[in-house]
Chain A
Amino acid sequence: MTPVLSVRDYTLDYLTGGAALRVLDGISLEVRPGEVLGLVGESGSGKSSLALAIMRHLPKNARETVGALRLGDLDLTAARPKELTRIRGRRIGMVFQDPSTSLNPTLTIGAQLTEVLRLHRGLDRAGAEAEALDLLGRVELNDPAAILKRYPHEISGGEKQRVVIAGAFGCRPEFLIFDEPTTALDVITGARILELFARLRAETGVAALYISHDLALVSRVADRVAVLKKGRLVEEASAADIFVRPKHPDTKALVDAVPRPERRLVGDRSSDEVLLSVERIEVTYGRKKLFRPAPKPSTRAVGFEVRRGEILGVVGESGSGKSSIARALTGLVDYTGAIRLDGRPIAGAAAMDRDYRRAVQIVFQHPDSSLNPRQRVGEILSRPLKLFGGDLAEIPKLLERVRLPAAYAERWPHQLSGGEKQRVAIARAFAARPALVVCDEITAPLDVSVQAQIIELLLDLRRHTGTAYLFITHDLNLVRQIAHRVAVMRRGELFDLLAVDELGGDHVHPYTRALIAASPIPVG
């Protein structure tokens, strides 16, 4: 049987400043009819370049040296631009990462859907509209007729991605490329999109390439999984095998780095002594403007305690108010309600004295913006030492504790990688010898392997210092590996606050249950 897509010994370079940078190196793979091949790799592994190469949409500085790309019997590398417009959308469909940018903001959903149907299937206006209605129904959108008339900004992110998927299936293509279709969506929305994909796949029997950085997710949607690292294909195996019997060391490392709730990384129990207590805290951004209603608070009467040396996980989707809690605790926004540190009440952001600010430190999400680009690493680390009493001679030791060479004190932030920057930010927090470190999505922008290293570092630092963490994340599996207790937030409210082993129990909130169900756990 001829494969739907075959890639043979494909090699691709990008020319940058006269030098050739190898992006893909001798890639060979096949997707057979009705099969879904998962393509997994970290950022810079070349997985998106392969998708663009198949779609024949490479940047101008790309050079294809050797290799073949075939769609059925057709040689894609030899296709002319005119042929390509007949292949794209009709024979190969594509679903993109971010539905909010892949739809044209100034055209209605209907215009964007019917355009392709009329172009590729030769339908007339009325026929295309009827077909579009049918397609929207098949991707389980309520009231398709109304959605056709709307603009992209008038529907939610999940609905947009359904529209994109409807368009991709619309011309009944023989092959589909999914490029991280759930990464930009919330966990539960993403899980629903995956269910939809599984159903449509069963209905149509389409072959697909599913690209993702998330090995656990890919192993659930794909039949086979190919692992890409720095432009090379390191391993290809069935989805069932890849987690159980990874052969290549790179795959093993990747598998080990995937957070799995059953593999606990923290063995101890936290003490019962309360370190910090938060009572009925509310944060409101902005203020009432003329002619406009007053803004709603982004957290509503949230209360919890952090015990000495405890890791308290805070989980929630974007907009759940979890970052507002972090900002309130560190005095970045004002709040109403009460915070107590060691029993001592703190009335508001203005009342946070040096002792409190030393004891409660924060590490932010974006490594690129959390270090001042005009200060060297040494100067960045010297500030907490000067403010909270410490010896500047400690800087090399601090760097060593976050496993960076002491010579890094002389470096500028732009000379560091994302993971290294995050280590410096962690060192800056620990320079104050804190009792509690607030970690606000600190691993979200990092690759899983880097994330695993950062987590290991945090746990190591905690072993030596006894520091408690308020660990804020959207990744429930990660939290279940490390936290003693988990708080679940949604729309500014605290839904659940449980010990981590109670999460599977019966008395958890239905939302928490949905969240657990939506977090893909690796098979095997």
Chain B
Amino acid sequence: MSFGWLLGRSASIVYTILVVSILVFGITQVLPADAAVTLLGENATPEALAAVRTRLGLDDPYWLQYLHWIGRVVVGDFGTSMRTGQPVGPEMFAALGRSLILAVSAILLMLVVAVPLGMAAALNQGRFADTATSLVSFVGIAFPEFVTATLLALVFADTLQWLPATGWVAPGESAGGFLSHLALPALTASVVLVAHVVRMVRSETLDVLHSDYIRAARLKGVPEGRVLVGHALRNALLPVVTIVALDVGYLLGGIIVIEEIFAIPGIGRQLMVAITARDLPSIQAGALIMAATYALTNTLADMAYTVLDKRIRYD
């Protein structure tokens, strides 16, 4: 990882955020909502509306409005929520923190399940365990989050009453409450990921097991267990880093639905509320923060990959 590589990656993150900001600003500016009406209500006088428009800069050309907005974003000011009147930034970042707890738990849960399962399937290629795993992952990938969430809530919350159906408890408040409230959302978020990653781990493991250097190790008289752990494991797991990073985009989308269903005050729910209320500053901030999170995750994954895989040096 040379200086040039880091510089290139930073430039690409900046470019990503620039493109996303234009995209988000462009889409939201076309929203058929008059910010002034949203603020003052339907019964406001035309004079009051005009005054608000001038104050908010709504009469300026779009590009000027964009520059004003992005200029403030650069210094960390995401504007004021039209719904609550509070600054958007702190609210969004607090929500992002809760979403990240959910996302990281889902990824950890997924790794614990998917990696051993995928490897077991590859090692038993063609046998029952392999077919069963493939079948389950095929089914798992076909359940959208809202279906999984509703069905899981039906079983574990409504019928068995083991876990709460909705809500969020901060980890500092009560560890037990935190975990029990986190369980169903994290499980929901991990289902599609598990299904996808199991298939990837299986095919990566098969590729490695069929490679020349594994054959060479076997033909050097290395015992099978040592071949798997010492030679195959690391090489099969390397590409999974990249796959998981790409899945984060899907995960973030899924989190919007999951937070809505389980009433978790994360960034996804903030966004849904903002979209419903046509609260422009909140929509813009939320979308931008989500995209930036994704871009950062991918860069981190690339860096992790370079550290783990000695073959690749970004120079």
Contacts and interface: CB of A to CB of B under 8 A. Distances in A.
Contact present between A and B (CB < 8 A): yes
Interface of A: 55, 57, 81, 84-90, 94, 96, 98, 101-107, 115-116, 119-120, 151, 153, 164, 167, 290-292
B220 interface: yes
B212 A57 contact: no
Given A88-B221, A116-B221, A120-B221, 14 more contacts: A57-B219, A85-B222, A85-B224, A87-B221, A88-B218, A89-B221, A89-B222, A90-B221, A101-B212, A102-B213, A102-B216, A105-B213, A115-B230, A151-B310
A88 B219 contact: yes
B235 interface: yes
A159 to B, nearest CB: 16
Contact of A106 (B217, B221, B238): B238
B223 interface: yes
B221 A85 contact: yes
Interface string B214-241: 1111111111100000110011001000
Contacts of A153: 310-311
Given A90-B221, A104-B217, A106-B235, A291 B212 contact: no
Contacts of A107: 230-231
A169 B4 CA distance: 44
A292 to B, nearest CB: 7
B309 interface: yes
Interface in B291-315: 309-311
Contacts of A86: 221
Nearest to B216: A102
Contact of B7 (A84, A115, A291): A291
B212 A96 contact: yes
Nearest to B231: A104
A105 B221 contact: no
B211 to A, nearest CB: 7
Given A57-B219, A116-B221, A116-B222, A292 B235 contact: no
B311 A105 contact: yes
A57 B215 contact: yes
B105 to A, nearest CB: 30
Contact of A89 (B11, B220, B224, B310): B220
B222 A115 contact: yes
B8 interface: yes
Contacts of A167: 220
> Of residues A87, A106, A151, which shows the largest number of chain B Cβ atoms within 10 Å of its Cβ?
A106
A85 B213 contact: no
The 4 A-B pairs at the shortest CB distance, nearest first, are namely A89-B221, A88-B221, A101-B212, A89-B220
B8 A88 contact: no
A129 to B, nearest CB: 17
By size class, the interface of chain B is 20 to 34
Contacts of B218: 57, 88
Contacts of A119: 221-223
A519 to B, nearest CB: 27
Interface in B167-223: 211-223
A158 B301 CA distance: 34
Nearest to B313: A153
Contacts of A90: 221
B219 to A, nearest CB: 5
A87 B221 CA distance: 7
B36 to A, nearest CB: 44
Nearest to B5: A291
B213 A101 contact: yes
A85 B8 CA distance: 48
A115 B217 CA distance: 10
Given A291-B7, A291-B8, A292-B4, A104 B213 contact: yes
Contacts of B234: 106
A402 to B, nearest CB: 36
11 contacts: A81-B224, A88-B218, A88-B221, A89-B219, A101-B211, A104-B213, A104-B217, A106-B235, A119-B223, A151-B310, A153-B311
B169 to A, nearest CB: 43
B216 A96 contact: yes
Contacts of A101: 211-213
A55 B216 CA distance: 11
A164 B230 CA distance: 18
A105 B309 CA distance: 9
Contacts of A292: 4
Contacts of B217: 104
Contacts of A106: 234-235, 238, 309-311
Contacts of A151: 310-311
B255 to A, nearest CB: 34
Nearest to A292: B4
Contacts of B223: 85, 119
Contacts of A94: 216, 219-220
Nearest to A168: B220
A98 B263 CA distance: 58
A153 B310 CA distance: 9
B221 A55 contact: no
> Of residues B7, B216, B220, which shows the largest number of chain A Cβ atoms within 10 Å of its Cβ?
B220
A224 to B, nearest CB: 24
A427 B266 CA distance: 67
A310 B272 CA distance: 75
B125 to A, nearest CB: 10
Contacts of B235: 104-106
A103 B4 contact: no
A98 B235 CA distance: 19
Nearest to B215: A57
Contacts of B224: 81, 85
A233 to B, nearest CB: 24
Contacts of B231: 104, 107
Contacts of B311: 105-106, 151, 153
A290 B8 contact: yes
A166 to B, nearest CB: 12
Nearest to B4: A291
B230 to A, nearest CB: 7
A84 B7 CA distance: 52
A184 to B, nearest CB: 11
Contacts of A89: 219-222
A81 B227 CA distance: 14
A105 B7 CA distance: 28
Nearest to A97: B212
A88 B220 CA distance: 5
Interface string B1-25: 0001001100100000000000000
B8 A116 contact: no
Contacts of A116: 220-222
A127 to B, nearest CB: 18
Contacts of A105: 213, 235, 310-311
Contacts of B214: 104
Contacts of A96: 212, 216
> Of residues B7, B216, B223, B310, which shows the largest number of chain A Cβ atoms within 10 Å of its Cβ?
B216
A103 B221 contact: no
> Of residues B7, B309, B310, which shows the largest number of chain A Cβ atoms within 10 Å of its Cβ?
B310
Nearest to B232: A104
A132 B174 CA distance: 58
Nearest to A100: B212
A295 to B, nearest CB: 14
A292 B315 CA distance: 8
